[in-house]
Amino acid sequence: MIRKEKGNLSPAELRKEMKERTLELYLNYISFGNNAFGIEAASKTYFDKSAKDLTVLESSILASIPKGPSLYNPYKNRDLVVGSFDIKDRYGNPVLFSGDVQNIVIDKFTQILDKSDLSNKKSNNAVIKFIAGIGSFTINVAGVTLDVKYINGRKDLALDRMYEDGYITEQELKDAIIQGITIQFRRNVFDIKAPHFVQWIIEELEKTYGSGTLAK
Burial 136-171 (b: 16+ CB within 10 A, else e): eeebebeeeebebebebbbbbbbbbbbbbeeebeee
Residue 145 parent element (H or E): strand 144-151
pLDDT, residue 2, reads: 44
pLDDT, residue 216, reads: 53
Query: Distance between CA 76 and CA 72 in Å, rounded?
Result: 8
What pLDDT digit, counting tens, does each position of 144-157 carry?
A: 999 999 999 999 99
Residue 120 parent element (H or E): none
**Is pLDDT larger for residue 12 or for residue 26?**
12
On average, the pLDDT of the chain sits at 87
Query: Distance between CA 143 and CA 88 in Å, rounded?
Result: 14
208 has pLDDT over 60: yes
Q: How confident is the model at residue 1 (pLDDT cuts 50, 70, 90)?
A: very low
The closest of 198, 199, 144, 152 to 176, measured between CA atoms, is 152
The closest of 13, 51, 49, 55 to 1, measured between CA atoms, is 13
6 has pLDDT over 70: no
Task: Kindly state the average pLDDT of the residues 127-134.
Answer: 92
Percent of the chain with pLDDT over 70: 86
114 has pLDDT over 70: yes
16 has pLDDT over 90: no
Span of 48-57, 78-87, 180-189 with lowest mean pLDDT: 180-189
